[in-house]
């Protein structure tokens, strides 16, 4: 998925650089472009990520689903990229791979999962002396640093 001013042109340029065929469409009422980079040989996500690094204007956000084969693979990849888009925008990430946020994307779409995880893991922290403030601040810092413990 690609969102932002000039997203369609950027995706055309990406397809050209990767020697891929581009199928891009912007559905009526949707602010993002759905893009498929097709070709005879497999294109790993890493290859697309390398090409995207530093190649996009600041106004564009791109999310990638995992590669798939045929219509079924494209549909799954499309749904993955679409689920990652609001996370990329919320985090201020210009490029985001679904595999890096798969669990979070699933939780965001599942109220039962989100509520259950909050009750199982977060609520017990509030039983500590300060009502869980130190634990919750530590968790926020941990996630903000991309899970870097140092």
Domain assignment present for 47: yes
17 and 47 within one domain:
yes
> Cα separations (Å) of 120 from 86, 90, 116, 125, 139?
25, 25, 6, 10, 15
25 and 58 within one domain:
yes
Over the chain, what is the mean pLDDT?
84
Q: CB-based burial of residue 96 (10 Å sphere; 0-12 exposed, 13-18 middle, 19+ buried)?
A: buried
According to the model, what pLDDT value does residue 80 have?
93
pLDDT tens for 132-147 read 898 889 888 988 888 8
Rounded Cα distance, 89 and 66, in Å: 19
Which residues form the domain of 8?
Answer: 2-101
Q: What is the pTM of this model?
A: 0.70
50 and 7 within one domain:
yes
Q: What is the number of domains present in the chain?
A: 2
Q: Which of 48-57, 72-81, 128-137, 140-149 has the lowest mean pLDDT?
A: 48-57
Q: Is the pLDDT of residue 29 over 70?
A: no
pLDDT tens for 91-129 read 999 999 999 999 888 888 888 888 888 899 888 888 888
């Amino acid at each position: 998925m690609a969102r932002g001013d000039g997203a369609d042109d950027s995706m055309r340029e990406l397809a050209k650089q990767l020697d891929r065929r581009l199928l891009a469409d912007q559905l009526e009422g949707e602010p993002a472009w759905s893009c498929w980079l097709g070709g005879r040989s497999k294109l790993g996500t890493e290859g697309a990520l390398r090409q995207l690094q530093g190649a996009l204007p600041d106004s564009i956000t791109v999310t990638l689903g995992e590669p798939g084969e045929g219509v079924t693979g494209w549909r799954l990849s499309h749904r993955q990229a679409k689920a990652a888009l609001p996370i990329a925008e919320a985090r201020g990430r210009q490029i985001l791979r679904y595999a890096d946020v798969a669990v979070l994307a699933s939780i965001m779409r599942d109220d039962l999962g989100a509520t259950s995880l909050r009750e199982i893991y977060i609520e017990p922290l509030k039983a500590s002396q300060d009502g869980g403030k130190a634990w919750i601040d530590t968790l926020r810092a941990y996630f903000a640093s991309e899970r870097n413990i140092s």
